[in-house]
Amino acid sequence: MTQGLAAAGCDVTLLLKAPVTTDRLVAPLMGAEHVTVRRPYEDRLLSDLGPRGLTPDQAVALMTRLDAERRFDLVVVRGRRLAGLAAAEEALAGRLWTYLTDVPQNVTEMTSTAVSELTDIAVASRFLLCQTEELRGFLEAAIPAACGKSVLFPPVVVAPEGVAGSGTPHERLRLVYTGKFASRWNTLEMTGLPAALAERGVAAELHMIGDKIHGDDPEWAKRMRRALEGDDVVWHGGRPRAEALRLSAECDIGLSWRDPEMDASLELSTKVLELGALGLPVVLNRTPMHEALLGADYPLYAGADTDSVADVLTLAADPEIYREAAERCRAASARFTLERAADRLRGYLALALPPMPAGVDPERPLKVVIAGHDLKFFTRLADYLMSLPGLDVRLDEWESLRAHDQYRSRELAAWADVVICEWCGPNALFYAQHKRPGQRLVVRLHRFELYAEWPRKLDIDKVDAVVCVSPYYASLTRELAGWPADKVVVLPNWVDVAQLDRPKLPGAEYTLGMIGIAPSRKRLDRGLEVLAELRRRDPRYTLAVKSKQPWDYWWIWNRPEEREYYERTYRSIQRSDLLAEGVVFDPFGPDVGAWLRRVGFMLSTSDDESFHLAPAECAASGGVPAVLSWPGADTIYSARWLHDDTAAMAEAIHTIVSEGRFDAARRAAQAEITENYALGRVCDLWTDLVVHGKVPEPVDLTRAVTA
């Protein structure tokens, strides 16, 4: 992490936990450019240091002290206890980049206490760095506050220059294991492999590098130590990382064979990647994660016992199999280089620390107020504006549509250079009434307010821009409100492509999706018509519905016509042979990114929509939008994703899948959404509007990339 941040352009201060007794780990960092190593013991940074290293409390105290001396832009922490204490420090909130490894990795371990602790960490963190997609998905499902903050930071492989395996196995096969010695890592069983191979006519020796023998079971630890001194086992002891890799490169096959209990781990072994980078094939357990890394047909997957591993190693003695396995491991490791890590970190730094907009003065920042009763649709834009240097952004969060702290609102109205009203409701009327000369007022209008009384009461002369999310609703707003055409501008909804772009799960092309099915104008019944038509052709098609249920909304369920619609629609699912086994209801929640991994097509079958984000989010995730031509749909999505009726939609979906065009279609959809609605682009448009009053150009769907 230190090397990656330095390569990404940061000045890095590394705070060590313990006194340096060997320089195996820190030697590459001492004297490195843009890296400062702080040594609490040698530099006597605290007076009460114990013999076992900094406690988490001491570490946080030192971090806050160093931060007070020279404020850091970000603070990277690893370890759940340390992260929990750092999250409680208000001075560090919002700047924590928390690297999560020692967290619960199954549902039974995710207790209410763990959820509460991890929620606090997520709220205080700018990013949660997850080693694998599997860990990120699990975390987001369990911790709603992690959604939108969880990003990938896989293991980083830094192989010494010029160090690599020979490419062909020795006549006496050399096996190598490097790391800690523990029962679940099968290190004791590994020492029996040379004898098992000898029974198969393969001469072999085992090289083991490391000096940490877990002593949870003293008897096991004694047996492990005796085995390290046995025949055909070469124990090198603990070695500096570079030397351990050099010794490994002199061997033939790496071992990462573990107890089956560890197959459900959500972490990826760095040792596997390091050995692959050296050009060594690795014997490892068959797991979904390893299959995604090396392929389902990788030849060196281990079984559960020593004999099965010996059988695999016997295969590896064949030069052809050896070369294939080595190349698979080398290619996989190439995706985890320090250069890749630095590129990834540069992207996260650009999100967390955007550059100062042209035309603002950091000595006299532009004062911006964001006011509204419900800011959930504006949160990411507000976070972005708050992160911009040269802007001083404050929130005026109203308790409800009409209830607010009038004294604070008046104070902010007198203070602000620019006011953004989220919703064209009483908040917009208030700020229009209290607008000062020279102040700019921007109002974002949603479908909800368009037919209410507030737009008719708004003094449009006091408003500099009314923002609508689509050209159709902008036109409708001009018509219904009678406002000047140039006052109503289009600024589209944003799609966080970086968060949603995740690997699809196998078979995703057969899963249709719907997000939000209430009220009835969302037309779940039409989605079921599409599903039924597809299941007549292929029973693999299913519909996944992520939504609150209609009875969760009192204002929907209390209306007889709404209740009757859902009772009729759900009854049709139960009674239909085509539908009964083909519809899955998933709970409402912010974990959309993980959920979309299994969805290939997102249905939009509504009577009307102002924008309908779900198809765009699916496209960003690597899926395909399927949109009925509701009014204005053609101003948001290009014609290739629009359909006249449910039969045409089903036909288009099945044609894409059956003709093998799913990958081409989803690439085209993702390119279109990225070009027009990516979060970064929309943030830039809002920056231009807020800072310079610049009105954006409308989206041009004629330039959409063709499949």
In terms of Cα–Cα distance, which of 280, 247, 285 is closest to 268? 285
* CA 539 – CA 531 distance, rounded (Å): 10
Helix axes 646-658, 524-537, angle to 10 degrees: 40
Instruction: Give pLDDT tens digits for 452-469.
Output: 999 999 999 999 999 999
Burial class (CB in 10 A: 0-12, 13-18, 19+), 399: exposed
Interatomic CA distance for residues 443 and 424, integer angstroms: 6
Contact criterion met (CB below 8 Å) for 247 and 207: yes
This prediction has a pTM of: 0.89
Question: Which residue, 682, 656, 650, 680, is CA-closest to 669?
Answer: 656
Helix axes 613-620, 662-677, angle to 10 degrees: 120
Q: Show the DSSP H helices in 482-553 as ranges.
A: 497-500, 524-537
**Maximum separation of any 2 CA atoms in the chain, in Å:** 92
Q: Tokens standing for 131?
A: 């080693």
Backbone angles phi, psi at 95, to 5 degrees: -110, 0
Can you say whether residue 167 is alpha, beta or left, with left for phi > 0 and alpha for psi between -120 and 50 degrees?
A: left
Q: Considering only CA atoms, which of 199, 194, 200, 195 is closest in space to residue 173? A: 194
Residue 571: the pLDDT is 97
In this predicted structure, what is the pLDDT of residue 706?
Answer: 47
Cβ atoms of 266 and 105 within 8 Å: the answer is yes
> Alpha carbon of 284 to those of 132, 244, 423, 697: distances in Å?
17, 19, 55, 54
Tell me the C-alpha distance between 202 and 194, whole Å.
8
Distance (Å, whole) CA 178 – CA 190: 12
CA separation for the pair 259, 620 (Å, rounded): 38
Nearest CA-CA partner of 450 in 483, 492, 414: 483
Residue type, 550: P
DSSP reduced 3-state for 415: helix
Q: How many CB atoms lie within 10 A of CB 485?
A: 9
Give the ranges where 12-79 is alpha helix by DSSP (H).
Answer: 56-69
The pLDDT of residue 166 is 86
E strands, 404-536, are 418-422, 440-444, 465-468, 488-490, 511-515
DSSP structure string for 578-596? TTTTTEEEE---STHHHHG
pLDDT-flagged residues of the chain (< 70):
702-707
Q: What is the pLDDT of residue 704?
A: 54
CA distance 329 to 279: 7
State which amino acid sits at residue 170: H
Q: In what order do the strands lie in the sheet with 583-586?
A: 583-586, 542-546, 511-515, 601-604, 624-628, 642-643
Q: Is 330 helix (H, G, I), strand (E, B) or coil?
A: helix
The CA distances from residue 463 to 400, 459, 466, 575, 696, in Å, are 22, 7, 7, 54, 17
Degrees, nearest 5: CA angle 368-424-390: 10
